């Protein structure tokens, strides 16, 4: 299996994350990519290729133009105000305020466009986010002549909605890849999110559409981020009703429990008959992941790959979560190796 990545994966290099009331080193760091690349090389998964330059106007089919402009100028505006730290919002348009107003001041803009303030903006953030999109688009392009491909995106994307960032995500890489495939002639896409955290952004983007079915296996949002989306009663709206499936799972979920939900989704894929199968690949379901609470073991990920492969569909894996511990490489490659068995 080919892997697409960018040498510029460390452009987004924020040093702070608000966690537990303290500013700490972010859990999402460039070391994640190093662990995965090393494992891919050591286990000879396949060629590692650089992303190509792409027409990035396709981003506007997924994201609001004003939001994209905000991301492009946020850091410069922040510095212009004289702030010394990284850009972190402090106020939001909450239920008691007017959520339709977009302030002129950068502090207000950050609150308007941010859904969670663990995600800092720093010098290089927008450039890194664009590189991640290029990875996803290059992989989608190559997939049309391959059985499978792995897009090693960083920063990740599945929490980014049409006009909000957060959860370490700025552009929704997998949604943009799906749009690329549709632009090239695909009629139906199925996106399965196996990250521990619900892909709220991907759901929001496709929630009223029948051509992209979104399904997610994740920690129950009553207990886990993003809390306010990802519940079982969210089925889609308008033409998209019936094309959204959430499988929230409780604390300490074992692989046996998790696998039952995966099989349920696989049955939906068979019924939907998509042209392409896209996987938001997060391995923060691992038992020792620092910010999650499932109990999957490294050997379980081989089986995940085998189950996904059983559909015999052209499959794009897009990297999402799984944080900077050595096993992120092992677990990611276990899925990809399982797929190829």
Catalytic annotation on 159? yes
The phi and psi torsions of 14 (rounded to 5 degrees) equal -65, 145
pTM of the predicted model, to two decimals? 0.98
pLDDT tens digits along 197-225: 999 999 999 999 999 999 999 999 999 99
> Cα-atom radius of gyration of the chain, to the nearest Å?
19
- 2-63+131-340 CATH, one of 3.40.800.20, 3.40.640.10, 2.40.50.360, 2.60.40.10: 3.40.800.20
Find, among 88, 113, 95, the residue nearest to 103 by Cα: 113
Helix (H), strand (E), coil (C) string for the chain:
CEEEECCCCCCCCCCCEEECCEEECCCCCCHHHHHHHHHHHHCCCCCEEECCCCCHHHHHHCCCHHHHHHHHHHHHHHHHCCCCCCECCCCCCCCCCCCCCCCCCHHHHHHHHECCCCCCECCCHHHHHHHHHHHHHHHHHHHCCCCEEEECCCCCCCCCCCCCEECCECCCHHHHHHHHHHHCCCCCEEEEECCCCCCHHHHHHHCCCCCEEEEEEEECCCCCCCCCCCCCCCCCCHHHCCCEEEEEECCCCCHHHHHHHHHHHHHHHHHHCCCEEEEEECCCCECCCCCCCCCECCCHHHHHHHHHHCCCCCEEEEECCCCCCCHHHHHHHHHHHHHHC
Could you give the CA distance from residue 199 to residue 179 in angstroms, rounded to a whole number? 17
Q: Quick check: 263 and 308 in contact, CB under 8 A?
A: no
User: What pLDDT shows up at residue 323?
Assistant: 87
- When pLDDT is averaged across residues 168-190 and rounded to a whole number, the result is 98
- When pLDDT is averaged across residues 117-141 and rounded to a whole number, the result is 97
- When pLDDT is averaged across residues 124-131 and rounded to a whole number, the result is 98
pLDDT tens digits along 248-279: 999 999 999 999 999 999 999 999 999 999 99
User: What pLDDT shows up at residue 324?
Assistant: 84
Residue ranges of domains in the chain: 2-63+131-340
> Active site residue: 12, 63, 159, 198, which one?
159
């Amino acid at each position: 299996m080919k892997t697409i990545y960018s040498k510029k994966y460390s452009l987004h290099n924020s040093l702070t994350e608000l966690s537990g009331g303290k500013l700490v080193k972010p859990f999402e760091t460039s070391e994640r990519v190093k662990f995965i690349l090393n494992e891919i090389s050591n286990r000879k998964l396949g060629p590692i290729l650089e992303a190509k330059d792409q027409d990035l106007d396709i981003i506007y089919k997924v994201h609001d133009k004003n939001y994209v402009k905000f991301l492009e100028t946020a850091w410069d505006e922040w510095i212009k105000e004289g702030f010394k730290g990284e850009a972190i919002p402090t106020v939001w348009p909450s239920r008691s305020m007017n959520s339709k107003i977009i302030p002129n001041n950068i502090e207000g803009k950050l609150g308007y466009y941010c859904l969670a303030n663990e995600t800092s903006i720093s010098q290089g953030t927008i450039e890194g986010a664009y590189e991640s999109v290029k990875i996803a688009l290059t992989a989608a392009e190559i997939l049309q002549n391959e059985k499978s491909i792995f897009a090693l995106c960083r920063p990740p994307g599945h929490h980014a909605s049409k006009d909000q960032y957060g959860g370490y995500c700025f552009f929704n890489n997998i949604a943009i890849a799906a749009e690329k495939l549709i632009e090239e002639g695909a009629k139906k896409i199925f996106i399965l999110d196996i990250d521990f955290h619900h892909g709220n952004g991907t759901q929001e983007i496709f929630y009223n559409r029948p051509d992209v079915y979104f399904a997610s296996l994740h920690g129950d949002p009553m207990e886990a981020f993003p809390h306010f989306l990802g519940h079982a009663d969210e089925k889609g709206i308008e033409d998209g009703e019936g094309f959204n499936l959430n499988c929230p799972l409780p604390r300490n979920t074992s692989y046996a429990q998790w696998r039952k939900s995966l099989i349920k989704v696989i049955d939906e894929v068979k019924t939907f008959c998509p042209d392409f199968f896209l996987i938001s690949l997060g391995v923060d379901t691992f038992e020792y992941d620092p910010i999650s609470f499932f109990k999957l073991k490294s050997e379980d990920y081989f089986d995940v790959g085998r189950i996904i492969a059983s559909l015999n569909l052209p499959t794009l894996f897009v990297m999402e979560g799984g944080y900077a511990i050595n096993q992120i490489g092992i677990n990611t490659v276990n899925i990809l190796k399982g797929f190829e068995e």
